[in-house]
Amino acid sequence: MIREVEILVAGGGPAGLCAAAAAASLGAKVLLCERSDVPGGQLVKQTHKFFGSEKQYAGDRGIHIGRTLADAAVNHPNIEILTDAAVLGIYEDGVVTVLYKNQHLKIRPKRTIVATGAAEKFLAFPNNDLPGIYGAGAVQTLMNVHGVKPAERVLMVGAGNIGLIVSYQLLQAGVEVAGVIEAAPRIGGYLVHASKLRRAGVPIRTGYTIKEAYGNGKLEGAVICRLDENWKPVPGTEEDIRCDTICLAVGLTPLAELCWQAGCQMAFIRELSGHVPVVDGNLETSIPGLYAAGDISGIEEASAAMVEGRLAGYAAAGSLGYEPQKAGELRQGAAEELAELRSGPAGARIMAGLEKAAALLAARKGGAGPC
Amino acid sequence: MDDKNIILCRCEDLTREAILQCIESGCRTIDEIKRVTRAGMGPCQGRTCRMLIAQELSAYYKVPMEEVLMPTFRPPTKPVSMGVLADACREGGAE
């Protein structure tokens, strides 16, 4: 039996929850499928305060933002949320399959919004499979969601915002942070996060990489070394760092497999951190009726994911005939909010990536390629 | 050699050495490597190793990452037990 649905949202993180709420506010009926047992996505473990403007809940902690968004969606009469519901596939005819608890569901939505977020990147170095080597996000989950002290002494690899924030939260949990190393010549995350670590006496070393991990059956330490301007290790700069845990915070990559399956036009765009579906101003992919919002169309912060979700939700509901004029205005408002969010220096990289994507979109729409 | 101790595909326990041997023996795409070694066929479905293997192909054949051919993506995105599919089939949900 195939269930008919107006709008299906895949993913209950900031983008998916906002997409559902936006579409439902215009009158559309939404089914949201979330893989884990609670909606909120990665917000459920963000114990720090967010930046941005009031519209994106700046000053509030991520964990509270997630709860606010989830409560609003759960209480909305037009939204049904399935948790423990992983979207398995999107087929040529638009049918979507879902593993819901122990059932295999088939759904035919009129519109689908893919908001599946991102995954942590892994790093290749000798002995990178020793127990004690984690993604930084996984350690953050252990600590902030499950209340498990994940380590005694940690080496953090990566000084982007995730590496810096998780390092600070490790300190808060009573874990020693041996240091943060970063291959790039400068710290990638916000200075405010880096400063908190430095004030606590944690060294942050740029231009350093991990040469190897070592240990007998489990991690006992790591050898780090300096990189030259061509990213080559400098011999003689090796240092031994004793630690029982290494956290890899070397970036995220979009979780776009549903878009690949559906046959969307995809592109590898470095500035967006990997392969992304090429979307138009409504965040609609090359497959009509299939939208992509949040980290899946380029790694950004949760604030941008929320606004993208709203934009896709308004666009999808409007295209189904729900208050099309109002939907258009709201969509336009969200687009302006995104432009504002990306206008600072931190948004320059994203803007460069989006320009590349826009060029690919123009080539497609212009009919330059074979049809 | 270090490459013996560098894991690229955690699910299938494949080292960098094994992947490089595969490339040196003529494999040019992620899908070819997958068919020979099972890289990317474990529980995580390539989310960990796919881009690491793409980087090796990019370096070996001197092509930019933008041009490294991605594998074919098929449902399901995660392992599903045969029992679940059998139940769905009985109820007409998986034809």
The predicted pLDDT at position A57 comes to 79
Given a cut of 60, is residue A371 above it in pLDDT?
Answer: no
Instruction: Flag whether residue A68 sits within 8 Å of chain B, measured between CB atoms.
Output: no
Reduce the DSSP state of residue A30 to 3 states and report it.
strand
What values do phi and psi take at A254, rounded to 5? -60, 140
Q: How confident is the model at residue A141 (pLDDT cuts 50, 70, 90)?
A: very high
B20 contact residues in A (CB cutoff 8 A)? none
A312 close to A304: Cβ distance less than 8 angstroms? no
B16-57 pLDDT tens trace: 999 999 999 999 999 999 999 999 999 999 999 999 999 999
Average pLDDT over chain A reads: 95
**Is residue B63 less than 8 Å (CB to CB) from chain A?**
no
* Three-state SS at B37: helix
Chain B segment 16-45 residues within 8 A of A by beta carbon are 16, 45
Chain A residues whose beta carbon lies within 8 Å of the beta carbon of residue B16: 124
Residue with tokens 């941005």: A52
How many contacts, defined by CB atoms under 8 Å, are there between A and B? 86
Looking at CA atoms only, how far is residue B26 from chain A in angstroms?
A: 22
Residue A193 has which token pair?
């996060």
Q: Report the greatest alpha carbon distance in chain A.
A: 67
Q: What is the chain A residue with the closest CA to B14?
A: A129
* Fold (CATH) for B2-70: Arc Repressor Mutant, subunit A (1.10.10)
Structure tokens at A83: 């948790």
Beta bridge partners of A209: A225
Spatial separation of the C-alpha atoms in residues A44 and A145, rounded to whole Å: 7
pLDDT at A369: 46
Q: CB distance A253–B91 less than 8 Å?
A: no
Side chain identity at residue A149, one-letter code: K
How far apart are the C-alpha atoms of A187 and A265, rounded to whole Å? Answer: 34
Backbone angles phi, psi at A147, to 5 degrees: 70, 30
Judge: B87–A90 Cβ closer than 8 Å, yes or no: no
Q: Is A204 helix (H, G, I), strand (E, B) or coil?
A: strand
DSSP string for A159-174: -SHHHHHHHHHHHHTT
> From the CB of residue A239, how many other CB atoms can be counted at a distance below 10 Å?
14
Chain A contact for B69 (CB, 8 A cutoff): no
Give the rounded percent of residues in chain B with a pLDDT score beyond 90. Answer: 87
pLDDT in tens, A254-301: 999 999 999 999 999 999 999 999 999 999 999 999 999 999 999 999
DSSP string, A37-88: SSSSGGGGG--SBP-S-GGGTTTSBHHHHHHHHHHHHHH-TTEEEESSEEEE
Query: Angle, nearest 10°, between helix axes B30-37 and B16-24?
Result: 110
Question: How many other C-beta atoms are found inside a 10 Å radius of the C-beta of residue A1?
Answer: 8
pTM, two decimals, is 0.95
**What are A87's strand-pairing partners?**
A98
Token representation of residue A136? 């930084």
Q: What are the boundaries of each domain within chain B?
A: 2-70
A98 touches B at CB < 8 Å: no
* Cβ–Cβ gap A103/B87 under 8 Å: yes
User: Hey, is the C-beta of B61 within 8 angstroms of any chain A C-beta?
Assistant: no
Query: Among candidates B20, B56, B5, B14, which has minimal Cα distance to A126?
Result: B5
| Inter-chain CB proximity B76 and A88 less than 8 Å | yes
Helix (H) or strand (E) holding A194: helix A191-199
| B87·A104 Cβ contact <8 A | yes
Task: Say what the pLDDT of residue A367 is.
Answer: 60
Bridge partners, residue A180, by sequence: A156, A204
Domains and CATH numbers, chain A: 2-118+252-365 (3.50.50.60), 122-248 (3.50.50.60)
Q: Please indicate if any CB of chain A lies within 8 Å of the CB of B6.
A: yes
Place of tokens 């009926």: A29
- The pLDDT value recorded for residue A370 is 45
Mutate to test the interface with A, among B2, B5, B16 (most CBs of A within 10 A): B5
Q: Identify the pLDDT of residue B92.
A: 66
Count the alpha carbons within 13 Å of A284 in the hemisphere toward its beta carbon: 15
